[in-house]
Chains A and B, each alone.
Chain A
Amino acid sequence: MTMAAEANFVADPFTPEGDTVIDCKVDKIFYGDFLAVRDSVVPIEKNKITAFIGPSGCGKSTVLRSLNRMNDLINVFRFEGSVMYHGQDIYAKKVDPVVVRRYIGMVFQQPNPFSMSIFDNVAFGLRLNKYKGDLEEKVQKALERAALWNEVKDKLKNSGLSLSGGQQQRLCIARAIATEPDVLLMDEPCSALDPIATRQVEELMLDLRSRFSVALVTHNMQQATRVGDTTAFFSVDISKGGRTGYLVEMGPTAQVFDDPQQQLTKDYVAGEFS
């Protein structure tokens, strides 16, 4: 067994059985001079939920946001490696990140509805893509699937900002799934939700699996075991003075939790459950 605590440790590559929709190979990710993540191969499987777990600051959000080039908005961000999506590297020169984001949607850690009505929030992406069909039906569908419809059906004209934090997050989920993206990136989508709403969102994720592929960052181990088909465990390497995140282990969720191959994973998973 290799020791994950070694400075030059690189996780054994995980080859999923099914199809992969995004094949992410991180060489190095920098914020300015700061090396945030190194040497991590993270395949996202088609029609599955891939959960990212690991201690705070290990680069889960950084890797996730690299999958649809959200990090491009940060000036100092630099990605070395490749992210293959349907056979194209989304970091290739000729690729337009705006188009990438229409196929690979995102739900953020903090709820971030627009300051417009609930309806307009959900319809935003549809209008952006010049959706020709029945807008109202589509909005209702998205709100239903985000388990929010019953709470807002009588006040669709109210501002999205008038909702509670948990409702806002479900609104953001509805907004993201309304356009039916191919892949959905979710960064701790339940951190602002109560257990019931969390449950609803988890059910939603399981339900979405039939159409979308989901990559999910979570701090909640139970959540990873409940919804994750595959789990990627990241950790932070502080041996060289920096704080560089890297992939420690990735595999089917049951294996990562019940029979981890790395001592580090074992400790982390055990610590979380004991």
Chain B
Amino acid sequence: MSNIDLVASSDMEFTRPNLERQLLEGRAIKNNVLTILTWGTAILASVPLLSVMYMLLVRGGTRLFGADFAEVLTALPPAGFEMGGGIGPAIVGTLLMVAIASAISVPFGILAAIYLAMLEPKGKLATTARFLAKVLTGFPSILAGVFVYAVLVISFGYSALAGGVALAVLMLPTVVLAAEEAIKQVPQRMKDAAYGIGCTRTQVIWKVVLPTGLPGILTGVMLAIAGAAGESAPLLFTALFSNYFISELMEPTASLSILIYNFSGMPFENQIELAWTASLVLVLIVLVFNILARLFGQPKV
């Protein structure tokens, strides 16, 4: 039977197919409706985001982009009814604590990631550590502050160092998980090539795996830094606050997030303005780290 069918159809004239777009076809309508819906939702979702940015730029921008921007960025915060002043100590404090946190969490995080991804990926220790890291990424940040308060602050007092350690606790899981992912992305073939040419396992890791996974690792680090820079809760219990520039690591320090918290509740116009300015500066710092993450995240050549 099928033979006959084949013969019959081959005899039939081949009708020219219509390849033009059919706008009113059910499939096309569904497609268009869905496209419009997603666009609508995307715009709706960006409304709060854009209004926050707008408010920040308008209210924080008056001081930051005003004539006295140098004073704002470098001066000490004003007292009660005082006019002028700035957020210098807070900027320094935030950058310093983020630096301390990175100096702790990045090396530890990368070493842990190497262990998780390459040395013992299926071991008990690795499975437990990976699970804990995942749990810790959703950890309420205030607990990191309480933890460091109990471990460091009770015996050594409030300090920038304690603040940095608290931020490191928050950064560590992000760095570990991102670096593990980046290391796992390095193809086995590349590792084989390195072993085949006579590398030890350490050389494979340092000369091939880490350089190849570096963009991914840096993306994770930058995102962790961006997150840590905006934290306030863990600093309440650790770095406290200060009205002066920090002179040594073991003393309390100001930070942008705590300054925003303190000043925004004050009944003085000047302080409230500075709180807005600090918010804008904080957002810009986070933005810079995000852009850096993108830049480094590009695969090489």
Measured CB to CB, the residues of A under 8 A from B are 68, 70, 73, 98-99, 101-102, 105-106, 108, 110, 112-117, 124-125, 128-129, 158-159, 161-162, 172, 175-176, 179
Q: How far is the CB of A242 from chain B (nearest CB, A)?
A: 26
- Give the residues in chain A near B193, CB-CB below 8 Å: 108, 112-114, 172, 175
Cross-chain contact A73 with B195 (CB below 8 angstroms): yes
Cross-chain contact A115 with B212 (CB below 8 angstroms): yes
In the assembled complex, B30 has its CB within 8 A of some CB on chain A = no
In the assembled complex, B262 has its CB within 8 A of some CB on chain A = no
In the assembled complex, B68 has its CB within 8 A of some CB on chain A = no
Helix, strand, loop or mixed for chain B's interface? helix
Q: How far is the CB of A118 from chain B (nearest CB, A)?
A: 10
Q: Which of B187, B196, B200, B301 contacts A158 (CB 8 A)?
A: B301
Cross-chain contact A105 with B196 (CB below 8 angstroms): yes
Question: Known: A114-B208, A115-B212. Contact between A108 and B198, CB under 8 A?
Answer: no
Task: Report the separation of the CA atoms of residues A162 and B301 in the bound assembly, to the nearest whole angstrom.
Answer: 8
Q: How far is the CB of A79 from chain B (nearest CB, A)?
A: 16
Task: Report the separation of the CA atoms of residues A128 and B199 in the bound assembly, to the nearest whole angstrom.
Answer: 8
- Give the residues in chain B near A175, CB-CB below 8 Å: 193, 197
Cross-chain contact B187 with A176 (CB below 8 angstroms): no
Q: Which of A99, A116, A176 contacts B197 (CB 8 A)?
A: A176
Q: Chain B: which residue is nearest A176 at the CB level?
A: B197
Most B C-beta atoms less than 10 A away, residue of A102, A112, A117: A112
Q: Which of B187, B192, B199, B211 contacts A116 (CB 8 A)?
A: B211
Cross-chain contact A114 with B192 (CB below 8 angstroms): no
- Give the residues in chain A near B190, CB-CB below 8 Å: 112, 114-115
Q: How far is the CB of A174 from chain B (nearest CB, A)?
A: 12
Cross-chain contact B195 with A114 (CB below 8 angstroms): no
Q: Which of A98, A114, A158 contacts B198 (CB 8 A)?
A: A98
In the assembled complex, B21 has its CB within 8 A of some CB on chain A = no
Question: Known: A112-B187, A112-B190. Contact between A106 and B196, CB under 8 A?
Answer: yes
In the assembled complex, B124 has its CB within 8 A of some CB on chain A = no
Q: Chain A: which residue is nearest B201 at the CB level?
A: A98
- Listed from nearest, the 6 A-B pairs whose CB atoms lie closest are A102-B198, A159-B301, A112-B189, A106-B196, A112-B193, A101-B198
In the assembled complex, B32 has its CB within 8 A of some CB on chain A = no
Task: Report the separation of the CA atoms of residues A179 and B196 in the bound assembly, to the nearest whole angstrom.
Answer: 12
Cross-chain contact A115 with B300 (CB below 8 angstroms): yes
11 A–B contacts, CB within 8 A, in A order: A101-B196, A101-B197, A105-B197, A105-B198, A106-B196, A124-B197, A128-B197, A128-B198, A128-B199, A158-B301, A159-B301
In the assembled complex, B203 has its CB within 8 A of some CB on chain A = yes
- Give the residues in chain A near B200, CB-CB below 8 Å: 98
- Give the residues in chain A near B285, CB-CB below 8 Å: none
- Give the residues in chain B near A117, CB-CB below 8 Å: 301
In the assembled complex, B194 has its CB within 8 A of some CB on chain A = yes
Q: Which of A70, A113, A115 contacts B196 (CB 8 A)?
A: A70
Most B C-beta atoms less than 10 A away, residue of A106, A117, A162: A106
Task: Report the separation of the CA atoms of residues A175 and B192 in the bound assembly, to the nearest whole angstrom.
Answer: 13
- Give the residues in chain A near B212, CB-CB below 8 Å: 114-115
Task: Report the separation of the CA atoms of residues A175 and B198 in the bound assembly, to the nearest whole angstrom.
Answer: 12
- Give the residues in chain B near A106, CB-CB below 8 Å: 196-197
Q: How far is the CB of A19 from chain B (nearest CB, A)?
A: 24
- Give the residues in chain A near B301, CB-CB below 8 Å: 117, 158-159, 161-162
Q: Which of A108, A125, A159, A179 contacts B189 (CB 8 A)?
A: A108
**Told that A98-B200, A115-B190 touch, could you supply 20 new A-B pairs with CB distance under 8 A?**
A101-B198, A106-B197, A108-B192, A108-B196, A112-B187, A112-B189, A114-B190, A114-B193, A114-B194, A115-B212, A116-B211, A117-B301, A124-B197, A124-B207, A158-B301, A162-B301, A175-B193, A176-B196, A176-B197, A179-B198
Q: How far is the CB of A46 from chain B (nearest CB, A)?
A: 21
Most B C-beta atoms less than 10 A away, residue of A98, A112, A115, A179: A115
Cross-chain contact B196 with A68 (CB below 8 angstroms): yes
Task: Report the separation of the CA atoms of residues A98 and B202 in the bound assembly, to the nearest whole angstrom.
Answer: 11
Q: Which of B189, B192, B203, B211 contacts A128 (CB 8 A)?
A: B203
From 173 to 223 in chain B, residues with beta carbon under 8 angstroms from any chain A beta carbon are 187, 189-190, 192-200, 203, 207-208, 211-212
Question: Known: A108-B189, A115-B300. Contact between A125 and B195, CB under 8 A?
Answer: no
Task: Report the separation of the CA atoms of residues A110 and B191 in the bound assembly, to the nearest whole angstrom.
Answer: 13
Task: Report the separation of the CA atoms of residues A112 and B299 in the bound assembly, to the nearest whole angstrom.
Answer: 17
- Give the residues in chain A near B194, CB-CB below 8 Å: 114
Q: Chain B: which residue is nearest A185 at the CB level?
A: B196
Q: How far is the CB of B117 from chain A (nearest CB, A)?
A: 15
- Give the residues in chain A near B207, CB-CB below 8 Å: 124, 128
- Give the residues in chain B near A115, CB-CB below 8 Å: 190, 211-212, 299-300
- Give the residues in chain B near A124, CB-CB below 8 Å: 197, 207
- Give the residues in chain B near A129, CB-CB below 8 Å: 198
Q: How far is the CB of A230 from chain B (nearest CB, A)?
A: 23
- Give the residues in chain B near A162, CB-CB below 8 Å: 301
